[in-house]
Amino acid sequence: MCPDTRWHDLQGMSADAIVDAYPHLTLADVYAALAYYHDHREAIQSDIEKDRALIESMQKRYTSKLQKKLHERAADGYSLSS
């Protein structure tokens, strides 16, 4: 299922509004995705939570090079303001 479609469904957008926002989708595509979501809600929610936890864990474990550099500069007393 397209995560964007699920997100828009949760935001209260109509199927027509989703098609307007994503013209490569047909109305049938949107209703099929929504039907699949409603038939498999628990499994999809579980997958989303697992993915969210993995992302959070990876973000804590692997700092981006930019974040690392900013922390190093802050520790050395450099300010980001000019």
CB 14 within 8 A of CB 31: no
Residue 32 shares a structural domain with residue 62: no
Local confidence band at 8 (pLDDT 50, 70, 90 cut-offs): low
Count of structural domains within the chain:
2
Residue 35 shares a structural domain with residue 54: no
Burial class for 46, CB neighbours closer than 10 Å (0-12, 13-18, 19+): exposed
Residue 58 shares a structural domain with residue 32: no
Distance CA 41, CA 35 (A): 10
Range of the domain at 67: 49-77
Residue 35 shares a structural domain with residue 56: no
Residue 2 shares a structural domain with residue 28: yes
Average per-residue pLDDT for the chain? 84
Residue of higher predicted confidence among 36 and 77: 36
3-state secondary structure of 15: helix
The model carries a pTM of 0.56
